Structure 1
Amino acid sequence: MTTARQHPLVEILKTRIAIIDGAMGTTIRTYGMTEADIRGERFKDSKKDLLNNGDLFSLTQPKMIGDIHRRFLEAGADILETNTFGATTIAQSEFFVDDPREHGGRKDPAFYQKVIEDPFLKKLAWEINETSARQCREWADKVGKETGRPRFVAGAIGPLTVSLSNSPDANDPGFRSVTFDQVKTAYAEQARALIAGGVDFLLVETIFDSLNAKAALVAIREVFDEDGVELPVMISAAVGRGGETLISAQTTEAFWNAVEHVKPLSVGLNCSLGPDLMYPFLEELSGKANVAISCYPNAGLPNPLSPTGFNFGPEDMAKYLSDFAKAGLINIAGGCCGNTPEHIAAIAKALEGLPPRALNAAEPVEVSR
């Protein structure tokens, strides 16, 4: 028998603004890892460069990943994200499968069918997701017990390296390199592995293509129904200067209308522009959605001369996020690209004591166990 209950994070969101962690990739770079470090013994013979495959560090450098989780928790994070932004067969194929375009071919549904059926990629994607979830779970439980303050784990599900909405071929606008069902299959495998690793929520994030996100949400629903499990779902989009999702070009309101039926625990904006340019779009979403609102922007725009690669330091992010809070716009706050544990610590301190956005219109989120 399963019993339905309101998720404990919902009660927290009614009384204070919850803090989500910062950028795993940015923080990894501060450790000075090399190609040899990410390969380790296991992947030493890989034919392609792996250093940009940050998810792989969960397998080859688990102590570093654990240290990053610890630092974000000590900075004040209530929610840890798993190191699984690109942990699908489709995304991992970029690092382990020869690109047919280098030989006069192209990536098409036949290519990606082989990818999602590839035993090596299937096993690798599962292992990254489950391992990363367990690493987060271990640190969240450890620090939660030590501090007497519960910490939560969000299974991070990223946007993929392919688009269902746009053609990669300017001369063939009807062409799609991948099908909806192929994307759904990859996401379903990721969701199952994250659940097996013990996450509290599934977070579909950095959405630039709403159709990709739709495939992820359909996959999650099917996994829940088939496996008899139910977890809260969090949704977060990336928008451009006009406030539209970057590829599918849905406005903020249209995006909410497209995902409202999921009844997510939260919906929000992340990555994208810096917080200085995100305000009007966050304000619109906050006015339309009847669930918790999350916001974890980039630390400004990219700047190769900055130590983190982005313009804003901890004090800047703290100021902007506190402005959002004072305007009554947010329930969950943190940082995306360019945000280190020091940024999250500054944000957490600045938001301490500030009231969260009212959740009076939000429906209770239930989870079955």
Structure 2
Amino acid sequence: MPDSKHPLSKVLEDRIAIIDGAMGTTIRTYGMTEADMRGERFKDAPKDLLNNGDIFSLTQPAMICDIHQRFLNAGADIIETNTFGATGISQSEFFVDDPREHGGRKDPEFYQKIIDDTMLNDLAWEINEVSARQCRELADRTSNDTGRQRFVAGAIGPLTVSLSNSPDADDPGFRVVTFDQVLTAYKHQVRALIAGGSDVLLVETIFDSLNAKAALVAIREVFEEDGHTAKGTDLPVMISAAVGRGGETMISAQTVEAFWNAVKHVKPLSVGLNCSIGPDLMYPFLTELAAKADTAISCYPNAGLPNPLSPTGFDLEPDDMARFLGDFAKNGLINIAGGCCGNTPDHIAAIAKALEGKHPREYALELAGARA
């Protein structure tokens, strides 16, 4: 009987895998301007685009590929596509006038127009597919050069809207967007990430569990509708939540245990915590998750708390992150480790060095390996 385990699952049996660091933080070190972001293609865009980091994959591909390569050179086994905000819903923030500026409001009628907007759909598809192809080429080349397989994680971010909360204090039942609209946007993104050659799909920085549920339903529906399930070619799913100081997913306020109970039916390759707080504050919540989950545990925290006087905008230096994550490994908590906001390739290199040879957390590998 052939071995049905995904190659990344096999890696996790032997060692702690390294995931890359922060794209946005590293982009800032290149000193890009609004004109650089726009390039020729978006030179006439009516709104500022500089904070729309996903667009750089189209207008400054050499820089984005250089960043991915630096993370690979630093020791990353997994690089994430530059697609954190690459849905029509998130991209609309940069290309569509805000109706609130003219006395209107954002509501399901507004977002249905976004979902139906051909330009935004085409742009979202292009960002996802192009970014995945960029990562695929670099990961394959580095795998061939080093003899160690590298993986591409199709990054699926949390969106700029919430399904769990109302923005109107006088109307707690109001939602700006519907579940079906969010589901449609995510399905479009998932299909493009698969088309670009992603190895796994990463639903990350989850602060609203209902948004994450829509992303997970989108993944399942794409697999079923496109015939992946019948062919046995489902991609593994990684899930990572952002938690507050109390260990709750920020908007939906689920505890770590409640969050795991809400997503474990997906049988993810990994579940974990990222972003939000530094490794010191994340530790007790990661310990709780590691005690509950029967799959691999990932951890890629911010480099401490924001600090505008720091070169990266965050407190912790590479050696600091290496020390914290080294302690996580020593205590048997992690299978995948890296860094979120504030973590540059230097941070990832230090983390990779600190975790080299460290024994990964033991878990039910037969369950994680079942998703070929």
TM-score class, shorter: over 0.9
**Alignment partner of 2:326 out of 322, 329, 336:** 322
Aligned position for 1:31: 30
Deviation of the 1:11 alpha carbon: 1.2
Structure-to-structure mapping, 1:36-51, within 5 angstroms: 36-51=35-50
Structure 2 residue 292 is matched with structure 1 residue 291: no
Residue type at the aligned position of 2:56: F
1:99-154 Cα deviation digits (max 9, x unpaired):
00000000000000000100000000000000000000000000110000000000
Q: Which residue of 1 aligns with 2:52?
A: 53
Q: Is the 8 A contact 1:116 1:186 kept in 2?
A: yes
Q: Distance in 2 between matches of 1:45 and 1:339?
A: 33
Kept in 2, the 8 Å contact 1:275–1:321? The answer is: yes
Gaps of 5+ in 2: 229-233
The aligned amino acid for 1:357 is: R
- How far residue 361 of structure 1 moved from its aligned partner, in angstroms, is 5.9
Find out whether 1:347 has 2:346 as its counterpart.
Answer: no
Match of 1:109 in 2: 108
C-alpha displacement at 1:198, in angstroms? 0.2
Letter of the 1:212 partner, please give it.
Answer: N
Q: Which runs of 5+ in 1 are unaligned?
A: none
Distance 2:119 2:49 in 1: 16
Aligned to 2:305: 301
Given that 1:291 and 1:362 are in contact with CA atoms closer than 8 Å, whether structure 2 keeps it comes out as: no
Alignment partner of 1:322: what SS?
helix
Q: CA deviation at 1:271?
A: 0.2
Deviations 1:195-226, CA, capped at 9 Å, x for gaps? 00000000000000000000000010000000
In structure 2, what is the equivalent of residue 183 of structure 1? 182
Alpha-carbon distance, 1:359 to partner? 2.2
Aligned position for 1:119: 118
Q: Which runs of 4+ in 1 moved over 6 A?
A: none
Q: CA 1:172/1:91 → structure 2, altered by over 3 Å: closer, same or farther?
A: same
Q: CA deviation at 1:228?
A: 1.4
Query: Post-superposition shift, 1:295?
Result: 0.1
- Structure 2 distance, partners of 1:192, 1:296, is 26
Deviations 1:253-294 (A, max 9, x none): 000000000000000000011001000000000000000000
Shift of 1:362: 5.2
Give, in angstroms, the shift of residue 365 of structure 1: 2.9
Determine helix, strand or coil for the equivalent of 2:238. Answer: strand
Q: Answer yes or no: is 1:263 the counterpart of 2:267.
A: yes
Deviation at 1:364, TM superposition (A): 3.7
What pairs up with 1:229-244 in 2 under 5 angstroms?
229=228, 230-244=234-248
CA contact (8 A) 2:300 2:339 kept: yes
1:331 aligns with 2:343: no
The whole-number CA distance in structure 2 between the counterparts of 1:74 and 1:67 is 10
Distance in structure 2 (CA, Å) of the matches to 1:91 and 1:364: 31
2 CA distance for matches of 1:91 and 1:365? Answer: 33
Q: Would you say the 8 A contact 2:295–2:368 is kept in 1?
A: no
Give the count of matched residue pairs.
366
Letter in 1 for 2:276: S
Structure 2 counterpart of 1:142, one-letter code:
R
**Taking structure 1 as reference, are residues 188 and 350 closer, same or farther at Cα in structure 2, changes over 3 Å only?**
same
Tell me by how many angstroms 1:5 deviates.
1.9
Q: Match of 2:111, as an amino acid?
A: Y
TM-score scaled to structure 1, two decimals? 0.98
* 2-structure distance, mates of 1:202, 1:70: 20
Aligned partner of 2:210 in structure 1 is: 211
What's the TM-score once normalised by structure 2's chain length?
0.97
Residue 367 of structure 1: how far off its partner (Å): 4.7
Counterpart position of 1:245: 249
Q: Please report the RMSD computed on the Cα atoms of aligned residues, expressed in angstroms.
A: 1.0
* Identity level (%): 79
Cα distance in 2 between the residues matched to 1:54 and 1:249: 28
Question: Which residue pairs with 2:276 in the alignment?
Answer: 272
Residue number in structure 2 paired with 1:90: 89
1:198 aligns with 2:202: no
User: What is the SS of the residue equivalent to 2:367?
Assistant: coil
Q: Map 1:42-81; keep pairs closer than 5 Å.
A: 42-81=41-80
